[in-house]
Amino acid sequence: MVITTVASHKDAENLARQLIDDCLAACVQVEGPVTSHYKWEGIVQASTEFRLTIKTGNACWQDLKKQLVKLHPYEQPEILMLPVTDTTEGYLNWTIENSR
């Protein structure tokens, strides 16, 4: 499972479609808006963002990361890979079959 955030719903939808079209993800969920609080260039900030939860197989991780870095609108995007330690066999198979 991979998580990233973007500033607009349009950016989130575009990234989701591209990752699905490229067979890098079996499913992308878009959530939000959420409020992110962080420090950027020494200044505490708060921004409205949309979170993408990307379901993919381990074999796709490196290609997915490269594509996210390439397509992401942020200068320094949050791209987190969280290993899934357990799921149903059917969901695992579906995820692997629908991501290269």
Handedness of CA 40, 48, 15, 25 (dihedral sign): positive
Task: Please tell me the predicted confidence (pLDDT) of residue 67.
Answer: 96
Q: What is the pLDDT of residue 24?
A: 97
Query: Into how many domains does the chain fold?
Result: 1
CA-based nearest residue to 68, from 15, 14, 6, 8: 15
- Give pLDDT, residue 42: 96
Helices 9-21, 61-71: axis angle to 10 degrees equals 140
**Domain at 38, CATH number:** 3.30.70.120
- For 41: left if phi > 0, alpha if psi spans -120 to 50, otherwise beta; the answer is left
Residue 71, domain extent: 2-97
- Per-residue pLDDT tens digits for 38-77: 999 999 999 999 999 999 999 999 999 999 999 999 999 9
3-class DSSP assignment, residue 27:
strand
Looking at residue 100, its pLDDT comes to: 84
